[in-house]
Chains A and B, each alone.
Chain A
């Protein structure tokens, strides 16, 4: 099946620093999504991207849908302690039979630790 390469696997940063993470795929995606999972909870959707080249912000978070449709990145500016968690990217492709169920392919996650 389709696979996503998400990097970095983990990050240890100081409060106030900016963060950047990305996902790449060998396949083209029509939708990219970014989720955050707080410790002990389920993932929550942060940003959804539907168009190649699209740049979308949600507070201190900014995500972009790559022009090639094979990558996406997420930036967090001025990190704070509550940014701690696991960030997942997910991609979906129209035209794949099982996409009828809204199935996405998930990256392995980036674990973010923020030191106060």
Chain B
């Protein structure tokens, strides 16, 4: 079974702090994604990565950066946390392009971040 783990289930940070959210997958997936989930807004893509050191902006990258130094690990960084970044953050991974299966994403349990 694919396992995607996220470093924390709950996190409370202060405005202006630098925040790191870590995601690790154990199935050698090329593709990894970071989403934020807010009530009524569904899943919004922040950044994704299709290979080590490769990254692409998603729909809402402002205020975030990412790092992919190793294939299994994809980190989301909030350079200076703000209260409007309070949200549920979900990490996902998927197989490389090669058929429909590459669109099947496996999600971690999420990190609920509160910025005060």
Q: Which residues of A (37-57) have their CB < 8 Å from a CB of B?
A: 40-45, 48, 50
Is A62 located at the chain interface by the 8 A CB criterion?
no
Is A73 located at the chain interface by the 8 A CB criterion?
no
Is B104 located at the chain interface by the 8 A CB criterion?
yes
| Contact-size category for A | 20 to 34
Known: A42-B108, A48-B100. A103 touches B42 (CB 8 A): no
26 contacts between A and B (CB under 8 A): A30-B100, A31-B103, A33-B104, A40-B110, A42-B4, A42-B107, A42-B109, A43-B43, A43-B105, A43-B107, A44-B107, A48-B100, A48-B103, A50-B100, A99-B97, A100-B97, A101-B31, A101-B33, A101-B49, A101-B50, A101-B56, A101-B97, A102-B94, A102-B97, A104-B103, A107-B42
